[in-house]
């Protein structure tokens, strides 16, 4: 009987040792363009750590306003590097926690095969009724789209045809549904197994400012082990492999 009890005690202790010391939830505000990668990263992180990721997806500009109004986010995965820096300066985020987790790529995309050519000449031809992009005041990819149009010298001509979406997810929906024939979105939204359906033009990086997407720990996440664990995981090989598979560059 004593031996059996000893074996049970040893088994119980070994099981406890194999489990995380505790599990917790991490509340993350995620730029809409990073929706698909984050879902895969979260699944891997949860398997490895036992912690749970509670993610909200949307525009960086709106998240900034929500964070300033006390939203209970612990990490921001921004679509730019300016918002995290601003939050640190305003003492709303943790100094020293900011880093670039991905560098985004802009693509001009249409759900219709053959509409968008490989050089983006469709923008100069103007043979379309509607072009969608995310609100350039709130979304860096929308701002990059406007920069591209201006760099090509077609902004004034195309402006009446612009359909402004609340965020990049809505911009994609406008294009994929046909409500807009084409539009500027993130490469990550349409790259599947190395291929893009429809037609597209990968916008040259010299036509828009670099889209450096930074992560930062917010005040509500300061000192939380689960938060620190996720930030560390984002810098690791598993997360990096997922990020690269969606067409992002790593800094």
My answer on whether 86 and 49 are in the same domain is yes
Q: How big is the chain by its Cα radius of gyration, in Å?
A: 22
Residue 86 lies in a domain: yes
Q: What percentage of the chain reaches a pLDDT higher than 90?
A: 87
The answer to whether residue 97 is domain-embedded is yes
The alpha-helical segments, DSSP class H, found in the chain are 2-18, 35-49, 60-68, 82-89, 122-125, 140-151, 155-158, 168-177, 187-190, 225-234, 237-245
Cα distance between residue 189 and residue 207, in whole Å: 20
Which CATH number belongs to the domain containing residue 177 in this structure?
Answer: 3.40.190.10
Please give the mean pLDDT across all residues of the chain. 92
Same domain, yes or no: 168 and 198: yes
Give per-residue pLDDT as tens, 202-230: 999 999 999 999 999 999 999 999 999 99
As a whole number, mean pLDDT of residues 103-109 equals 97
- For residue 168, give its domain range: 106-202
For 127-185, the pLDDT digits (tens) are: 899 999 999 998 899 999 999 999 999 999 999 999 999 999 999 999 999 999 999 99
Q: How many domains does the chain have?
A: 2
pTM of the predicted model, to two decimals?
0.84
């Amino acid at each position: 009987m004593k031996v059996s009890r000893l074996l049970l005690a040893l088994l119980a202790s070994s099981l406890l040792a194999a489990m995380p010391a505790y599990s917790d939830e991490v509340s993350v505000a995620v730029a809409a363009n990073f929706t698909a990668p984050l879902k895969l990263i979260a699944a891997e992180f949860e398997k490895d750590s036992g912690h749970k990721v509670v993610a909200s997806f949307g525009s960086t500009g709106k998240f900034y306003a929500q964070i300033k109004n006390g939203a209970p986010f612990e990490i921001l995965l921004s679509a730019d590097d300016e918002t995290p820096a601003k939050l640190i300066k305003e003492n709303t985020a943790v100094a020293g926690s900011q880093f670039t987790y991905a560098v985004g790529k802009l693509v001009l995309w249409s759900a219709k095969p053959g509409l968008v050519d490989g050089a983006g000449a469709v923008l100069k031809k103007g043979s379309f009724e509607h072009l969608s992009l995310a609100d350039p005041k709130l979304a860096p990819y929308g701002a990059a789209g406007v920069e591209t149009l201006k760099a090509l010298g077609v902004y004034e001509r195309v402006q009446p045809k612009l359909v402004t979406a609340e965020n990049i997810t809505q911009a994609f929906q406008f294009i994929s549904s046909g409500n807009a024939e084409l539009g500027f979105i993130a490469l990550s939204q349409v790259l599947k197994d190395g291929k893009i359906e429809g037609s597209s033009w990968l916008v040259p990086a010299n036509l828009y400012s670099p889209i450096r997407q930074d992560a930062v720990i917010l005040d509500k996440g300061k000192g939380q082990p689960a938060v620190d664990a996720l930030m560390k995981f984002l810098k690791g090989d598993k997360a990096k492999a997922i990020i690269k598979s969606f067409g992002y560059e790593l800094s």
